[in-house]
Amino acid sequence: MERDAIAVEVRGVRKAFDEQPVLDGVDLSVRRGETMVILGGSGSGKSTLLRCIIGLEPPDEGSVSIDGIDPYAASWSQLEQLRRRIGVAFQGGALFGSMTVAENIELPIAEFTRVPPATRRIIARIKLGMVGLEDAMDRRPAELSGGMIKRAALARALALDPSIVFFDEPSAGLDPVTAAGLDRLLVQLKRAFDATLVVVTHELASAFKIADRMALMHEGQFLVTATPEVIRKSEDPIVRRFLDRAPPEAGDSAQKFEKFLDDLEV
Ligand code: ADP
Ligand code: MG
């Protein structure tokens, strides 16, 4: 596989809801194997962009492609290929409540492959082991904490060894310890899988930790797309305002963890 090949390409994407433009000419290229972090304020259109990219929200204008396939123009078999190759873990997790955690992970394997049930079970165990949930395999989602549900959703996204994984706000709503754990997990997974990751977050600390490059969404476009070092040193007033609102140093997970312990008076 070519290292510098493009995994995700977004060109001139526009999307409006009720005549309110949300995406106003978005361009983005994500290289294969890179971790691209998408930053932006709440309501800036990050989730909308992800949905446009993966084929859930047709853009009003512009084009998207994943591994060279346009999800809105793809044939049935191309879409099937695409669904096999991408992993998606979105806000909320959306596991099936009537199934155990392991069954939730086995489901996409059953849907897309001919792997026999006993082997599906082994794969589910391995994936759940990677996110530290092996012991919770036979529990139902309602019996899990918020952090465990996110980890289970991640394990499911990884069930088919995807080459591209999309994440929407992986650590949102988690306590600092769990959020820091999830960030570490993302970094480990990235190493283990050599996958392309597209991560939407408003957590600056995680963003700076995991990004190869980051892109800041502002008024319907990416204001800047660059490495963390370049972003950190940016003198653009809008970038500064965004970063200084929550300086990455002060938001560092280790410090958050200590503050968390302080607050608990441990
Ligand atoms: P973010 O993920 O950056 O917080 P979103 O992409 O969820 O932002 O939303 C961007 C804007 O688009 C918000 O104002 C939101 O209310 C609006 N929006 C998103 N999806 C829809 C929809 N299906 N219908 C109407 N408005 C929507
Ligand atoms: Mg969102």
pLDDT tier for residue 153 given thresholds of 50, 70 and 90: confident
pLDDT of residue 261: 46
Residues 171-226 pLDDT 10s: 777 777 777 777 777 877 777 778 899 999 877 888 898 899 999 999 999 999 99
The pLDDT mean for the chain works out to 87
Atom of ligand 1 nearest to the CA of 42: 4
Question: Taking 80 as the threshold, does the pLDDT of residue 158 lie above it?
Answer: yes
End-to-end CA distance of the chain: 50
Identify the structural domains of the chain with CATH numbers, from first to last: 3-263 (3.40.50.300)
Q: Picking from 1-5, 129-133, 238-242, which range would have the lowest pLDDT averaged per residue?
A: 1-5
Atom of ligand 1 nearest to the CA of 51: 6
Question: Taking 60 as the threshold, does the pLDDT of residue 253 lie above it?
Answer: no
Contact by Cβ (8 Å): 105, 128: yes
For ligand 1, say whether the CB of 201 is within 6 Å of any of its atoms: no
pLDDT of residue 265: 38
Atom of ligand 1 nearest to the CA of 200: 2
Total length of the chain: 266
96-115: average pLDDT: 93
Question: Taking 60 as the threshold, does the pLDDT of residue 3 lie above it?
Answer: no
* Nearest one of 82, 160, 157 to 120, comparing CA atoms: 160
- Classified as helix, coil or strand, 197 is strand
pTM for this prediction: 0.85
61-71: average pLDDT: 96
pLDDT of residue 180: 77
The structure tokens listed for 109 are 């394997």
For ligand 1, say whether the CB of 96 is within 6 Å of any of its atoms: no
pLDDT of residue 116: 96
The structure tokens listed for 162 are 């995807």
In sequence order, the 6+-apart residues with CB closer than 8 A to the CB of 122 are none
For ligand 1, say whether the CB of 205 is within 6 Å of any of its atoms: no
Q: Which of 13, 18, 20, 22 to mutate to test the pocket of ligand 1 (most atoms within 8 A of CB)?
A: 22
Give percent of the chain with pLDDT exceeding 90.
Answer: 58
246-264: average pLDDT: 48
Radius of gyration in angstroms for the set of CA atoms belonging to the chain, rounded to a whole number? 19
Question: Taking 60 as the threshold, does the pLDDT of residue 255 lie above it?
Answer: no
